[in-house]
């Protein structure tokens, strides 16, 4: 199911209809619209390390968190390294990454504590939000092609199950905007890694076009969720390509490092 678009003045963000129906959470996928950052981070940059104007980033968090209904004072930001560390977040880490120094690296954050917003960044990579409404736990995952091939989503589902009693068949997931198969052109290393990880299940998401491969990252991440035991009807996929929509998103493949960062956020409330 496509994501729902929200527009408040200049601010534009997305939510998942499936997660909206669950209740008990605040969540959203940001865009580059509605903030106060200056070029090349204009305007809703949520990456504190991507610009020197700290007050602008703080104002961006105030606007985005206020729009989705999350507590910006407690937001926890992942320091992403394209690996498979899944970090359980407790009250002791509230505010790390924005208001306090981080003492961790992780590409997935999970919690069962209320009012601790979990946030992961993207500028083409997959960003996925997870929620088990009965177990009362949530997760936020950064799954670029490396993390996808390494199975970070399956590991995150396993940690939600082990730590908080989640059940894969109850979990609801939303896959946010990422680079689409239309634009994710690679050599053979990426499809080889996906095939080694997923076997024949990877084939529908890998297409050879002349000398290059085109990779459906969102489809592969969805395949990992299915492999982990989620029901197809419990998975929303945005269908938006970050490379195709420079009006809404930053894309590393399009502009390189001179850019801001969009994000996915989820919090129990």
pLDDT in tens, 113-142: 999 999 999 999 999 999 999 999 999 999
* Domains of the chain, earliest start first: 4-179+235-268 (3.60.140.10)
pLDDT in tens, 188-234: 999 999 999 999 999 999 999 988 999 999 999 999 999 999 999 99
Q: What is the pTM of this model?
A: 0.97
How much of the chain exceeds pLDDT 90, in percent?
94
> How far, in Å, CA of 236 to CA of 2, rounded?
7
CB 122 within 8 A of CB 145: no
**Alpha helices in the chain, H assignment, sequence order:** 17-22, 54-68, 145-150, 152-164, 189-198, 217-227, 252-255
């Amino acid at each position: 199911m496509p994501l729902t678009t929200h527009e408040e003045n200049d601010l534009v963000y997305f939510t998942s209809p499936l997660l909206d129906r669950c209740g008990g959470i605040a969540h959203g996928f940001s865009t580059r619209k509605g903030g106060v950052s200056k070029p090349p981070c204009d305007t809703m940059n949520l990456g504190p390390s991507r610009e020197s104007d700290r007050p602008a980033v703080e104002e961006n968090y105030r606007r985005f968190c206020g729009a989705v209904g999350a507590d910006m004072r407690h937001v926890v930001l992942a320091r992403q390294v394209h690996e498979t560390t899944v970090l359980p977040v407790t009250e002791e880490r509230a505010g790390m990454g924005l208001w306090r120094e981080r003492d961790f690296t992780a590409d997935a954050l999970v919690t069962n504590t209320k009012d601790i917003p979990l946030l992961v960044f993207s500028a083409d990579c997959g960003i996925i939000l997870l929620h088990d409404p009965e177990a009362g736990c949530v997760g936020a995952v950064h799954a670029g092609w490396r993390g996808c091939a390494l199975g970070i989503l399956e590991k995150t589902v396993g940690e939600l199950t082990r730590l908080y009693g989640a059940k894969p068949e109850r979990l609801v997931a939303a896959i946010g905007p990422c680079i689409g198969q239309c634009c994710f052109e690679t050599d053979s290393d990426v499809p080889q890694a996906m095939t080694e990880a997923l076997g024949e299940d990877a084939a529908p998401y890998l297409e050879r076009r002349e000398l290059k491969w085109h990779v459906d990252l969102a489809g592969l991440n969805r395949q990992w969720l299915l492999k982990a035991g989620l029901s197809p009807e419990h998975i929303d996929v945005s269908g938006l390509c970050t490379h195709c929509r420079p009006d809404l998103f930053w894309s590393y493949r399009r502009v390189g490092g001179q850019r801001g960062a969009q994000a996915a956020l989820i919090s129990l409330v």
